[in-house]
C-alpha cells in the first residue's frame, strides 16, 4: 500500500465549476497535511496546509481533513484555466519526513 | 517564505561524470531536503541535510552516489556521482518553514545524462 494515494487523473472541469481533489494516507499517526500545486516545468508551490479535522478555507480553496477515514481533500471553487496544473498531496511521515502522492492532473476548460 | 535558488538550472552531462548542485537560501534554516522528481513522477526524498551533522538518507539512496554537504544554515550541495542515464531527473531542494513542517521548494535542476 502506498503511503499517500491520489487519483492521477486527468480531472477535467469546466471553467467556473468546483474541482474536487482527493487523497488518502496510510499512516494513522500522521498529523500534518499539505496541498501543493505544480505547473508543468515548475517546482511545487504550497497552496494550503491543514492539521485539524474539518474544513479550512483560503480564498477559492478549501482543504478538508478526516483523520478517522485517513482522507484529505482539496476543493477549488470557481475554477479558472490558470488552475490547470498537477496537485500534489503531501503528508508528514515519521521524523518529519514529507511523503508525496503521485499527483492529480487538473485541466480547467474555458 | 524563504527565497531559494539553485544552480545550475539545467545541465546535460555524460555518463560516468559527476555534477554538484547548489542550493542557496536567503535566510537561516535548520532543515534542508533534497528530492528527485523523475519525468511524469512525484517527488521522492533523497536525504535530509542538517547543518553540523551527517545527512540522513532514505532507503535506496546512498552517500557514495549522492554525497551532500551542509556547511552553514543557508547553503547545501548535492552531488550526483558516476552518473548514468537513469539519473536523468529534476533535483529539488527544499527548506522547512518555521515550526509548522511545511516545505518550500527551490526552482529545481533539470539533469539529463547522455
- pLDDT digit string, tens, across residues A30-49: 889 999 999 999 999 999 99
Q: Which residues have a Cβ under 8 Å from the Cβ of A85 and sit 6 or more positions away?
A: A37, A38, A39, A40, A105, A106
CA–CA gap between residue A74 and residue A87 (Å, rounded): 9
- pLDDT digit string, tens, across residues B65-105: 999 999 999 999 999 999 999 999 999 999 988 777 899 99
Contact between chains at B102 and A100 (C-beta distance less than 8 A): no
Q: Is the pLDDT of residue B48 over 90?
A: yes
Q: Is the pLDDT of residue A95 over 70?
A: no
CA–CA gap between residue B50 and residue B31 (Å, rounded): 5
pLDDT at A1: 65
**Cell 551527517, located at residue:** B54
User: Mean pLDDT across chain A, nearest whole number?
Assistant: 93
Q: Which of B43, B56, B60, B96 to mutate to test the interface with A (most CBs of A within 10 A)?
A: B43
pLDDT at A94: 67
| Residue B62 C-beta-side C-alpha neighbours within 13 Å | 4
Strand partners, A66: A71
- Percentage of residues in chain B with pLDDT exceeding 70? 98
Amino acid at each position: 500500500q502506498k503511503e499517500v494515494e491520489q487519483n492521477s487523473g486527468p480531472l477535467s472541469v469546466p471553467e467556473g465549476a468546483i474541482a474536487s481533489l482527493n487523497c488518502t494516507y496510510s499512516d494513522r499517526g500522521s498529523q500534518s497535511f499539505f496541498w501543493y500545486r505544480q505547473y508543468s516545468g515548475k517546482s511545487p508551490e504550497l497552496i494550503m496546509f491543514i492539521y485539524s479535522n474539518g474544513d479550512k478555507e483560503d480564498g477559492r480553496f478549501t482543504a478538508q481533513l478526516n483523520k478517522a477515514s485517513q482522507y484529505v481533500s482539496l476543493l477549488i471553487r470557481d475554477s479558472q484555466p490558470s488552475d490547470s496544473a498537477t496537485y500534489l498531496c503531501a503528508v508528514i511521515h515519521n521524523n518529519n519526513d514529507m511523503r508525496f502522492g503521485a499527483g492529480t492532473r487538473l485541466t480547467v476548460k474555458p | 517564505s524563504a527565497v531559494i535558488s539553485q544552480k545550475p538550472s539545467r545541465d546535460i552531462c555524460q555518463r560516468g561524470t559527476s555534477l554538484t548542485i547548489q542550493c542557496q537560501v536567503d535566510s537561516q534554516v535548520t532543515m534542508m531536503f533534497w528530492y528527485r522528481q523523475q519525468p511524469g513522477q512525484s517527488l521522492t526524498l533523497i536525504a535530509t541535510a542538517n547543518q553540523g551533522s551527517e545527512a540522513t538518507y532514505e532507503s535506496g539512496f546512498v552517500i557514495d552516489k549522492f554525497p551532500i554537504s551542509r556547511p552553514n544554515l543557508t547553503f547545501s550541495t548535492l552531488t550526483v556521482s558516476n552518473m548514468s542515464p537513469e539519473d536523468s531527473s529534476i533535483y529539488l531542494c527544499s527548506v522547512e518553514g518555521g515550526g509548522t513542517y511545511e516545505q518550500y521548494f527551490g526552482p529545481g535542476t533539470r539533469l539529463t545524462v547522455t
